[in-house]
Structure 1
Amino acid sequence: MSRRCELTGKGPMTGNNVSHAKNRTRRRFLPNLNDVTLQSEVLGRGIKLKICAAALRTVDHRGGLDQFFAKSKDSELSDSALKVKKEIAKAQTAAA
């Protein structure tokens, strides 16, 4: 299981641990991932995703999961999130 956000694509970064004596050793900075269930108003059900805290704030800022998917790029989304995005778009066109 990769440590990657399903909505933003944010993954691990690398850098250095720097001691007081300026000794440098390589380290990884991992994203703050959380398992959450977000509600889709169009589908009327919850969707379980593994997303970072920054993505959770962005979803809240844009007004929910449906509006987030409307503005998101397909290249940043995971395969499961892309399926949900297409499912939401299909349900919105059927309702309109």
Structure 2
Amino acid sequence: MASLLCCGPKLVACGIVLSAWGVIIPVLGIFFSVHSAMLIEDIPFTESDFTESSPQKIYELYEQVSCNCFIAVGLYLLFGSFSFCQVRLNKCKQYMVS
């Protein structure tokens, strides 16, 4: 079991703190999926996207960014679960040494 341990306690604590940012990302993904006007500056559009007659291209860009947010949530969850497993292995190692 100790062979799966690859991170020390300080690095694992840093990983958990970084993965806590993943709590905010789903909220952003939801706001992007409802095409929130306050997030228009975060959409990768060009000038030609606004000259088209329908806003469909802008809505597609909103959906793309929303999908990217939810992919990031999945990665944060994987990273957080890895960090949590490393915490458990570090505690097990401490118990075995004591």
TM-based fold match above 0.5: no
Give the structure with higher Rg (CA).
2
TM-score normalised by L of structure 1 = 0.29
TM-score normalised by L of structure 2 = 0.29
Higher RCO (C-alpha under 8 Å, 6+ residues apart): 2
User: Which of the two has greater helix per residue?
Assistant: 2
User: Which of the two has greater strand per residue?
Assistant: 1
